Amino acid sequence: MTAEKTERTGAEEIAWDLSDLYAGVDDPYIEQDIATTDARAAEFAERYRGQMTALSPEAFYEAIVAYEELTESAYKLGSFAHLLWSTDTGNPQYGALLQRITEWSARLQQQLLFFELEWINAPDDFAQSMIEHPTLVHYRHWLEVTRRYKPHRLSEPEEKILAEKAVTGRDAWVRFFTELMGNTRYPFDGEELTQSAILAKLHEPDRQVRQRAAQAFTDVLQEKLPILSYVFNTLAADKASDDRLRHYPSWISSRNLANEVSDEVVDALVQAVTSRYDIVARYYALKRRLLGVEKLYDYDRYAPLPAAEGRYQWEDARELVLGAYGQFHPQMAEIAGQFFERSWIDAAPRPGKRGGAYSASTVPSAHPYVFMNYTGQARDVMTLAHELGHGIHQYLSREQGILQAHTPLTTAEMASTFGEMLVFTDFMAREDDPRVRLAMLAGKIEDTFATVFRQISMNRFEHAMHTARRQEGELPPDRFGELWMQTQEAMFQGSVELTDNYRIWWSYIPHFLHTPGYVYAYAFGELLVLALFARYRKQGEGFAERYLDVLRAGGSDWPQNVLAPMGVDLTDLSFWQEGLGEIEALVSQAEELAQTTA
């Protein structure tokens, strides 16, 4: 174990060079940029506050450009401070800079807030004339998107009261739940485990360990069930009154608006996924055979398949990712190549460096940076592929400017997941040990299930819960359990034996409370990519050019318009079926491999 840990991967020296943002924590340009931005923000407010409806389209354009420049300055400072801090969270100088910039940019935001608010509150005829004016065509989507909440906004004093009362209302309940669950410990083999540690036991090869972990987890949840049900009830009721006051037709409408998709698109997605639950049943039937058990219980779902896993040097990872990207389109490899050559990646694991991985878009006048902790596992190679997918997307969409480069949640994971698919396919083609291939495939299938089927079955639970809460009033704990089991049994179709313990496993899932309606966005992104991948295989080369155009468009238009050149119709059930067909193909491939390894 220790020998493996100290084994070098070549990533130990891979550190990024942030000097395209600032030279270092002491760079005098930091203070200078803060001062300049403050002065320009004051000027901006002086000049434009209360003036919007008096502006000509040309003057309005100028105002947006100035606003965008101020936003970019704040992002540049914020990105630098955050990136620097990520590499050494224990460095007090870095921490102080991050805190300083965070507080400064919050004040800046307050100062500039009037601009978006005046735009949201502008009369419809004025707004429409601006949105349609050719001078403002570049900013059209930003103008539209910023105004989309107008029908749901209340008067200024009402908004103020709601915002203030939310602190001790909704926000307080969410925080209570988070702290309660964060502080809860689960007794296991004489130890007091955290939630993530006890749930990690469900991935253990020893079935007994998995079963006991599931029991230990359930026992503690059971004790807390009255409190948890009360929190769920309260937040569901709070959401119901919020939706009523803000005139949202259904519990999911506000989320769809945030995601820039229509209720119809989300309905089509949900319908498509729930109609293919047979794929879930087929896979778990295979997994049951592979594990050699008579019945597959809920605590067996994450059991690993036995296979030797290789280790990958940093150079191998680089070659794998660039190779797969280059095969797709030379420009992909060219852009990704710059990340390596120009030190835009920080991959070395170091003491004090935060965990996880991300790609930071920073600002259009610079370029994105990729952050990760490379240890040589196969999943690190996939993480590199994932983050470089984001990186290429962010790099290409810089041309839209900072106000329109970012995509909504639904398409935010498109390039990363697509990049992973490219590398995974290539990876599989290079591996010839059928047992390793089967294990890799099973891993991929289970990841895909987690983002597609599980999230949609959770969306069905949320739907049932919010609907029941609105129709039946306060729900007893067992009513939640009933709705949970119905929506989960519908997905497993008998392929997994759900124990009685599983009845309360809805009660710890934070997404339901933090961000109601959020979960379907994962399925949206994943299926979108799988469907695009299916088209890529059918269409060949022209596809890659169009795909790069989609990435370039960033968040400059509604997702359905951005995707239209790919011949994608998100309201069309058959489009989503294509993505599901890809998952089915992965399951078929696993079934075939299982026969050769048997």
Interface contacts to Zn ion, rule CB under 5 A = 416
C-beta nearest to Zn ion: residue: 416
State which residue, 362 or 416, has the beta carbon closest to Zn ion.
416
Return the bridge partners of 187, or none. Answer: 192
Q: What is the DSSP letter of 297?
A: B
How do 345-346 and 369-371 pair as beta strands?
parallel
State which residue, 229 or 416, has the beta carbon closest to Zn ion.
416
Strand, helix or coil at 148?
A: coil
CB of 384 to Zn ion, least distance (A): 12
State which residue, 392 or 475, has the beta carbon closest to Zn ion.
392
CB of 388 to Zn ion, least distance (A): 11
State which residue, 367 or 390, has the beta carbon closest to Zn ion.
390
CB of 409 to Zn ion, least distance (A): 11
Cα–Cα nearest to 531, from 429, 448, 443, 427: 448
Question: How far apart are the C-alpha atoms of 492 and 132, rounded to whole Å?
Answer: 50
C-alpha torsion angle, residues 445, 446, 452, 458 (rounded to 10): 160
State which residue, 253 or 416, has the beta carbon closest to Zn ion.
416
Which residues have CB under 8 Å from 440's CB, separation 6+? 307, 378, 424, 427, 428, 431
CB of 404 to Zn ion, least distance (A): 20
Which residues have CB under 8 Å from 476's CB, separation 6+? 229
Which sign, positive or negative, has the C-alpha torsion 132, 138, 139, 144?
positive
C-alpha torsion angle, residues 465, 466, 472, 474 (rounded to 10): 80
CB of 432 to Zn ion, least distance (A): 30
Question: How far apart are the C-alpha atoms of 437 and 593, rounded to whole Å?
Answer: 8
Token pair belonging to 49: 């506050």
State which residue, 419 or 481, has the beta carbon closest to Zn ion.
419
CB of 358 to Zn ion, least distance (A): 8
State which residue, 108 or 388, has the beta carbon closest to Zn ion.
388
CB of 94 to Zn ion, least distance (A): 24
State which residue, 218 or 416, has the beta carbon closest to Zn ion.
416
Residues in the chain: 598
502, 488 contact by CB (below 8 A)? yes
State which residue, 416 or 507, has the beta carbon closest to Zn ion.
416
Q: Which amino acid is at 427?
A: F
* 359 exposure class (CB count in 10 Å sphere: 0-12, 13-18, 19+): buried
Beta strands in 236-297 (DSSP E): none
CB of 325 to Zn ion, least distance (A): 16
Strand, helix or coil at 589?
A: helix
State which residue, 409 or 590, has the beta carbon closest to Zn ion.
409
CB of 252 to Zn ion, least distance (A): 23
CB of 416 to Zn ion, least distance (A): 4
Number of H helices, E strands in the chain: 26, 5
CB of 359 to Zn ion, least distance (A): 7
542, 263 contact by CB (below 8 A)? no
Token pair belonging to 184: 């809860």
Question: How far apart are the C-alpha atoms of 549 and 257, rounded to whole Å?
Answer: 25
State which residue, 276 or 390, has the beta carbon closest to Zn ion.
390
